[in-house]
Amino acid sequence: MQENTSSASDNLRAGNRVVAFGIAAIVLILLAAAVFLFSSLPDANAFNARVERLFVENDNLTTGAEIKLLEILAQSGTAFAEVLQSYRMVIFVLLVFSTALLLAALVFLVTIITLNRRMSAIQRSGIQVSSLMINREGRAVYINDMEFQLTEAAIETLSVLAEARMDDEVLTGVQLEAVISGRSEADCEEAAGATRVKRLRDALGNQLVSELLVKTIARRGYVLAVGKDAIRMV
């Protein structure tokens, strides 16, 4: 047990390191992209500097039309600087948004991988049910700390399977249908019992719980994957 615990702790630490390195790599890449983009943009005052140079170098421009042209150029330089500033803001917002999306994608990917590993481990080892309490009157079943409201037919099917489990019996579909319907096995069909099991699984809702709780044993029948001592019926 100590070896398994140590291995699980090592895997957890390794996973945390991978996530930390992934986040750091994403941030560094986007930071480098931001530096490159902002450094590639022209100076916002470059146009104004050129217009000012025109004013200085051409002091002989004295006619009204020439002065008007210089004023237009100066206004254009101011507009260019404002537009460039807005571009910088847009680029900054897009980079922040891209960083958030990439980080979210990384977190979701790690979460999905972790959940898939846990589900695989549960499927390999089987569901661990510490208590199974069936309340016929309330038509409810309590599996560990989970409560499921069932139909009358589903609760009857689960009750019969629970009684069979307490007697260490595996019920075929024919036997299950015979016990529930009260008819002889000769008058029952395997498909009818299989349909009852399917409806029970559908009523439980959680596919993982239902598939692993109500086990199908090939060429034998159906049985609850629960210890006899864990079953209680009220």
Quick one: pLDDT band at residue 47, thresholds 50, 70, 90?
low
- pLDDT of 11 > 60? The answer is no
In the prediction, which pLDDT does 196 show? 92
- pLDDT of 3 > 50? The answer is no
pLDDT for 49-75, tens place per residue? 666 676 666 666 556 666 676 667 667
In sequence order, which residues have a C-beta less than 8 Å from that of residue 74 and are 6 or more positions away? 48, 51
Quote the pTM value.
0.48
Please tell me which residue, 136 or 30, carries the higher pLDDT value.
136
What is the domain partition of the chain in residue ranges? Answer: 2-125, 132-233
Cα–Cα distance for residue pair 200/221, rounded to 1 Å: 15
pLDDT for 112-160, tens place per residue? 777 777 666 655 555 567 788 898 888 888 887 778 888 899 999 999 9
CATH code: domain 132-233 is 1.10.10.10
Cα–Cα distance for residue pair 192/200, rounded to 1 Å: 13
Return the amino acid letter for 168: D
